[in-house]
Structure 1
Amino acid sequence: MLLVYTHNITPRLKYVFKHVCTRILGVEVSFTTKVETFIAHDSLKISYTKQQLGNEFFIKSHDLLFEQGLNDIEIHVQSWWHTKCFFFNGEKSAIPFDIFAASFYLLSRYEEYLPHVKDNYGRFLATESIAFKHSFLHQPVVDIWAFKFKDALQLQFPEFKFPQRNYSVKPIIDVPSPYHFKLKGFMRSFGGSLKDLLKFQLKSLYDRFMVVFGLKHDPYDTFKYIINKQKQSKFKFLFFFLIGDFSTYDKGINPNNKKFVSLIKHVADYCEVGLKTSFFALDDFSILKKEKLKMEDILNTSLKASRQSFSKLNLPESYRNLIELEVLEDYTMGYVNHIGFRAGSCTPFLFYDLDYEIQTPLKIHSYHVIDYVLLKDQSLLDKKKTLSSVLKEVKQVNGEFIPVYHNYTFSEVERWKGFKELFNIILESGNEA
């Protein structure tokens, strides 16, 4: 067990030390404000305060973990070996940066509470983040810092054995609509046919009629393929089905359709299933609650995980609503236009409510790449290079890699050619030594 001496044990301090020491490094941590208790401890121990007590392992603390609410924080990002860090703390500290304050800043999404430019959907942009502006979005810096902290501790406590954690993959399959043509109802099918006709999209019109009359397989119906992949993989896939009402933003299938319900149940026999909330559920608690209860009714069990439509988050309201409904995990945090680590970590973390200054029970699984962002790379070779780069970053710290695919990504549609191979690379990354 690691004992931390500090002048003030705050919720922020306990939260971030537990993430870095326990969740990432696998070491239990406790805290004391008593010097005699600290001196008597005969295992791992550090002091985290303004002044060093003696010759112990000392990290000079930044004020952030002892403050409340939001303040105007001055941040200077500097290079540190092959990465970047901030909150430099001088020569006397055992490591040159207060990695705990810096980690808290990223994990709490402090910057997303400050004034910033949003995109057309009201989302926080990657380009607004400190990580993008200072070119470390591509690295899970919180995990990298944790391992640098571990290395420094190991030098001071050479006899202590740190546990080893293993790299893992959590594939996400997002299903905004399970079918391209099937189960859309007469009016939507008629409207789609008319649209194809007016735009002279004759192949689409032909495919539509062939699928509707059961003469051809629906291109988005890739569930058999994905389930076969699940059977071959040691990593559990997590599906998110949209069951909200049809709207401008959400064009799924009627959740009362028996064939759709049957599909969800079938997938749940092999994979984990969560709720993809509709766009309007984001701002309307009653809609969110209705969708959650509907999914629980389909699954015949309590809902464990959610993912918000369009990867949109309204902090802290989005997460507070999930907490009130006792949803345990969320997979929304990430960027739709950039690969990288929005919260700076590839280790799941608990949501910290900055307004109430409390650690909540909601576990955040931040995703690192979404299929759409790989479309930017022209060739399959470029896509492989991009994917390999982010996989390497996660593997170096034995983290959890989270990719987001859609059911149609596995189709034979031209723009998604090669994406099955990319998915295989992701799954096989866990088999490499």
Structure 2
Amino acid sequence: MVKLKVLLPEQFLAERTYIVNVLLKDFLGLQFRIETHTKNDYEILLPNGKDLIIKDHFFSSIQSSIGYLYESFIPTKIMSTINEFIPEQDIPIIYGTDEIDVSDERIVCGIDVFASSFFMLTRWEEYVNETRDSLDRFPATESLASKHQFLDRPIVNEYTEMLWNMLQFIGIEQERLERTFTIVPTHDVDHVCLWDTPVDVLRTMIGDITLRKDVKLSFKRLKQYWNIKTNQEKDPFDTFDEIMDQSEAQGIQSRFFFMNGGVTKFDRKYKLNDPHVKDVIQRIVKRNHIIGFHPSYNTYNDPVLWKQEKEGLEHMLGFQVKEGRQHYLRFDVPNTWGIWDDNDMTVDMTLGFAEMEGFRAGTCYEYRVFDIIERRPLQLKEQPLIMMESTFAYQEDHLRPEWMLHRISQLKQKVKKYKGSFVILWHNSNFNHGMWNNVKHVYQEILRD
């Protein structure tokens, strides 16, 4: 097979090479060779002599000695356009213009799909915009995608489809990579039991009496605790078999991410050497579902603590863990990715917003990440989180079954259109307890293809 030739400017070559490889090689599965040239734009040459030029509207305007990691380089206005190659009714332009010149021999595209995709995938906007919420997380409302109403669109997938459609128009003979839509259910195990110790139930009972002024409720708690401990009642947080049953019914695997540390009020209380916890893990392994790592609250920027917790988890398990998600979705670009990569992790699934569902990285495909400080791709891959059940609890009146099903179905259909991975997070503790009783059937609906 004759490869394509991709010509790139020498300026910011590491960044350009990375994003070209992600879109053309990883996403589309095309074969090509990269060369440099003295022009400012991207040029893709086909064996038939025809070419596609993507106008550069970002890197060529920035001095290499200064770099692009400044908030002033984030666009303040986003326009949308239509053309014959886009997969949706319109397409937002992060960098570039709506100009497109089409002839039989050449297409010149004004939308800088490469810089726009680089912006979304590397999350460099989160590095230059230092706004954080009370948990030191980059807020969804600060993202360009949220501000300009395209957070619920996998915009990088749209750019990739546009690229493919233009290449088809000028006669590409290679076949693209075949993909299959998949549902990826994940479960952060923040709690294994409703109450891990007698102290926990005692503390809750005191709160019932002193804060909630409900003595009867405190005694109900005590009765429930006793019934659970004497096996007269099932622990509402022990939903592991139920979750695996539902996944197996659809022919998919669940992923359970366990913690092994943490001293803050946000961290878990269970111990990995507890007989009940060991039993849960053994049940998961026996049924061929996946155990992953859920690093504690303060690990997202602490490589020493992160490593200690991972090694302790692996020591208890007797095997290595290769994937997982940061607790509370705490994430620091690019440091958190670097910690995961340094510890030989394969896949991170943290990249989603806690307070808004959607496409934080602009894609529903797993992709290799890029370190914007060291200016190099890492071995680690990101599989972005698209929907978390707790997000709907953030939003007033949105913890309603009909609304959740409607909203989740919208996102699911978009992922299905691009044959991506619909990564969802539903905590094991949010099925048979409190307000979650009324919406747990939503989870079953999600899993149905």
Does residue 191 (structure 1) correspond to residue 178 (structure 2)? The answer is no
- Sort the Cα spacing of 1:193 and 1:210 in 2 relative to 1 into closer, same or farther, 3 A: farther
1:396, distance to aligned residue in structure 2 (A): 1.5
Partner of 1:155: 169
Cα distance in 2 for partners of 1:236, 1:246 equals 31
Does residue 57 (structure 1) correspond to residue 52 (structure 2)? The answer is yes
More displaced stretch, 395-404 vs 317-326: 317-326
- Sort the Cα spacing of 1:284 and 1:5 in 2 relative to 1 into closer, same or farther, 3 A: closer
Cα distance in 2 for partners of 1:113, 1:303 equals 28
Q: Do 2:4 and 2:33's aligned partners in 1 also have CA atoms closer than 8 Å?
A: yes
1:108, distance to aligned residue in structure 2 (A): 0.8
Cα distance in 2 for partners of 1:40, 1:145 equals 15
Q: 1:343 aligns with which of 361, 370, 373?
A: 361
1:176, distance to aligned residue in structure 2 (A): 0.2
Aligned to 2:177, what secondary structure does the other structure show?
coil
Aligned to 2:299, what secondary structure does the other structure show?
helix
Partner of 2:150: 136
Per the normalisation by structure 1, the TM-score is: 0.89
Does residue 285 (structure 1) correspond to residue 303 (structure 2)? The answer is yes
Any stretches of 5+ residues in structure 1 without a counterpart? 46-54
Cα distance in 1 for partners of 2:284, 2:399 equals 33
Q: Do 1:211 and 1:218's aligned partners in 2 also have CA atoms closer than 8 Å?
A: yes
Letter in 2 for 1:236: Q
Partner of 2:265: 248
Aligned to 2:110, what secondary structure does the other structure show?
coil
Cα distance in 1 for partners of 2:147, 2:232 equals 52
1:4, distance to aligned residue in structure 2 (A): 0.5
Q: 2:370 aligns with which of 344, 352, 362?
A: 352
Partner of 1:15: 18
Q: Do 2:46 and 2:172's aligned partners in 1 also have CA atoms closer than 8 Å?
A: no
Aligned to 1:149, what secondary structure does the other structure show?
helix
Q: Do 1:246 and 1:254's aligned partners in 2 also have CA atoms closer than 8 Å?
A: no
1:285, distance to aligned residue in structure 2 (A): 2.6
Aligned to 1:401, what secondary structure does the other structure show?
strand
Cα distance in 1 for partners of 2:48, 2:427 equals 45
Cα distance in 1 for partners of 2:241, 2:44 equals 60
Q: 1:298 aligns with which of 302, 313, 316?
A: 316
- Sort the Cα spacing of 1:220 and 1:366 in 2 relative to 1 into closer, same or farther, 3 A: same
Cα distance in 1 for partners of 2:55, 2:43 equals 18
1:195, distance to aligned residue in structure 2 (A): 3.0
Q: 1:217 aligns with which of 234, 241, 264?
A: 234
- Sort the Cα spacing of 1:265 and 1:30 in 2 relative to 1 into closer, same or farther, 3 A: farther
Aligned to 1:410, what secondary structure does the other structure show?
coil
1:240, distance to aligned residue in structure 2 (A): 0.6
Partner of 2:5: 3
State percent identity of aligned pairs.
Answer: 23
Letter in 2 for 1:344: G
Partner of 2:256: 239
Letter in 2 for 1:416: W
Q: Do 1:112 and 1:124's aligned partners in 2 also have CA atoms closer than 8 Å?
A: yes
1:132, distance to aligned residue in structure 2 (A): 0.5
Q: 2:404 aligns with which of 354, 376, 383?
A: 383
Letter in 2 for 1:73: F
Cα distance in 1 for partners of 2:400, 2:279 equals 38
Aligned to 2:222, what secondary structure does the other structure show?
helix
1:56, distance to aligned residue in structure 2 (A): 2.6
Does residue 257 (structure 1) correspond to residue 274 (structure 2)? The answer is yes
Aligned to 2:73, what secondary structure does the other structure show?
coil
CA RMSD across the alignment: 2.5
Per the normalisation by structure 2, the TM-score is: 0.86
Cα distance in 1 for partners of 2:96, 2:44 equals 30
Cα distance in 2 for partners of 1:134, 1:192 equals 43
Cα distance in 2 for partners of 1:338, 1:370 equals 9
1:401, distance to aligned residue in structure 2 (A): 0.8
Measured against aligned partners, the alpha-carbon deviations of 1:233-291 in whole angstroms (never above 9, x if no partner) come to 33222111122145311133022213212322321232111111111223433321121
- Sort the Cα spacing of 1:324 and 1:39 in 2 relative to 1 into closer, same or farther, 3 A: closer
- Sort the Cα spacing of 1:428 and 1:79 in 2 relative to 1 into closer, same or farther, 3 A: same
Q: Do 1:277 and 1:288's aligned partners in 2 also have CA atoms closer than 8 Å?
A: yes
Dislocated runs of 4+, deviation >6 Å: 38-41
Partner of 2:442: 422
1:298, distance to aligned residue in structure 2 (A): 2.4
Cα distance in 2 for partners of 1:61, 1:69 equals 14
Cα distance in 2 for partners of 1:321, 1:43 equals 42
1:138, distance to aligned residue in structure 2 (A): 0.4
- Sort the Cα spacing of 1:378 and 1:272 in 2 relative to 1 into closer, same or farther, 3 A: closer
1:164, distance to aligned residue in structure 2 (A): 2.7
Q: Do 2:27 and 2:177's aligned partners in 1 also have CA atoms closer than 8 Å?
A: no
Cα distance in 2 for partners of 1:422, 1:56 equals 48
